[in-house]
Amino acid sequence: MTRAFETMTVGVVGAGGIAHPHLAAWQHLGVPAVVFSVDDAAPLAAQFGARTVSSLAELLERCDVVDVCTPTYAHRDVVLAAAAAGRHVICEKPLSHKRSEASEMIEACTAAGVQLHPGQVVRFFPEYAAAKAAVDAGQIGSPAVLRFSRRGARPLRAWFADPRRSGGLIVDQMIHDIDFARWVAGDVERVHARIVGDEPGPTIGLVVMTHTNGVLSHLNGGWGLPDEVFRTSFSLAGSSGLLRHTSDATSGLTWSVPTAGLVGGELVPAGPAGASPFVTELGEFLASCAGGSAPRVSALDSLAALDVALAATLSASAGQSVAVKEVVP
């Protein structure tokens, strides 16, 4: 089924908020797209030069790769149908809000001989990718304490505020920084979390992760009022240096080594954004589907991040720390 990148067609399932940057990326990459949604997908498809189809079965007939942009609780059925049809799959994060479903999806794609790529797009933002490269190059020495923040207005769609369908704040939103922290500092052994506020009102999540190598990651996530501006930040402190980035600052990614008197160097300068990280992400995924090298994030990476998020959610409910292995069968 492998075809050249330029001759492949993508089938996008879903017409909600996340489908917009996905379709914009496919248009930018020059990849033909067809769209199916239980909602009216015609205006969205027209905006990005895609075609609509009337059923999932028709979409599967017309595409080589399925891009799953449905709500989280609907991921499983679409992924299993795509695997059964022999189609490679790109699935938005989290793969599922349930570990059993995420494992089933991975197993089905493996058995069918098709690829499953998770939409952990933070790894593709230039500041985050450059920070990972800087850590790997030893620019901060041995990582010690990582801090992340991710805040914004609560999404309008009702399912986001229903943990039975979204998994809740930690699984739905904070999994981005959980995945990045794992990418930088490795597997997580134990978590301690707290959630303040109630769905669907303003909600804040606090998570402390202890990695197996002793590194500590502190995560702050939150859904706020409709006027709250979305913003993110991180700092990565090591034995000999510090990396910092704030999305609402005038600088991009800064690197400093206080003990050496090196302060304020920019690894990624501030300024107009380049290519969308979704373009980088989806282009890397599609190249892999066309026979290229494996992308920087795998379905197993996404499953591991889900395990940590589920453990943190359990910790917040129980009021005590939880070992990640407690949520793994």
pLDDT in tens, 62-102: 999 999 999 999 999 999 999 999 999 999 999 999 999 99
Q: How confident is the model at residue 5 (pLDDT cuts 50, 70, 90)?
A: low
DSSP letter (8 states) at residue 155: P
Q: What is the mean pLDDT of residues 194-201?
A: 86
Tens digit of each residue's pLDDT (9 = 90 or more) over 157-179 = 889 989 999 999 999 999 999 99
E strands present in 212-308: 216-224, 231-238, 242-246, 253-257, 262-268
Domain that holds residue 49: 5-119
Asked which of 78-82, 227-231, 248-252 is least confident by mean pLDDT, the reply is 248-252
- Structure tokens belonging to residue 269: 């300068």
Whether residues 131 and 90 fall in one domain? no
Whether residues 57 and 196 fall in one domain? no
**How many Cα atoms sit within 13 Å of 79 on the Cβ side?**
34
Structural domain count of the chain: 2
% of the chain at pLDDT higher than 90: 83
pLDDT at position 260 is 46
Is the predicted pLDDT of residue 259 greater than 60, yes or no? no
DSSP letter (8 states) at residue 194: E
Is the predicted pLDDT of residue 27 greater than 70, yes or no? yes
Last residue of a domain, one of 119, 147, 179: 119
- Structure tokens belonging to residue 17: 């908020």
CB 202 within 8 A of CB 225: yes
pLDDT at position 199 is 73
Is the predicted pLDDT of residue 283 greater than 90, yes or no? yes
- Structure tokens belonging to residue 294: 């494996």
Q: What is the mean pLDDT of residues 25-49?
A: 96
- Structure tokens belonging to residue 48: 């990005």
Last residue of a domain, one of 119, 137, 161: 119
pLDDT at position 7 is 79
Is the predicted pLDDT of residue 189 greater than 70, yes or no? yes
pLDDT at position 266 is 53
| Beta pairing class for 88-92 and 116-119 | parallel
- Structure tokens belonging to residue 147: 């801090």
- Structure tokens belonging to residue 300: 């197993």
18 inside domain: yes
pLDDT at position 4 is 56
| Beta pairing class for 88-92 and 143-153 | unpaired
Higher-pLDDT residue of 255 and 76 is: 76
E strands present in 7-126: 10-13, 33-36, 51-52, 65-68, 88-92, 116-119
Last residue of a domain, one of 76, 92, 119: 119
Q: Is the peptide bond before 126 cis (omega within 30 degrees of 0)?
A: no
pLDDT at position 249 is 67
Whether residues 26 and 169 fall in one domain? no
Whether residues 98 and 134 fall in one domain? no
Whether residues 136 and 197 fall in one domain? yes
pLDDT at position 262 is 47
284 inside domain: no
Whether residues 107 and 133 fall in one domain? no
Cα(66)–Cα(285) distance, rounded to whole angstroms? Answer: 11
Is the predicted pLDDT of residue 325 greater than 80, yes or no? yes
pLDDT at position 263 is 47
Q: What is the mean pLDDT of residues 290-305?
A: 97
Q: Indicate the average pLDDT of the chain.
A: 92
pLDDT at position 201 is 82
Whether residues 91 and 158 fall in one domain? no
- Structure tokens belonging to residue 225: 């009022």
E strands present in the chain: 10-13, 33-36, 51-52, 65-68, 88-92, 116-119, 143-153, 188-196, 203-211, 216-224, 231-238, 242-246, 253-257, 262-268, 322-323
pLDDT at position 156 is 85
Task: Please tell me the pTM assigned to this model.
Answer: 0.93
% of the chain at pLDDT higher than 70: 91
Is the predicted pLDDT of residue 198 greater than 90, yes or no? no
* Closest to 89 measured CA to CA, from 98, 97, 104, 221: 104
Is the predicted pLDDT of residue 3 greater than 90, yes or no? no
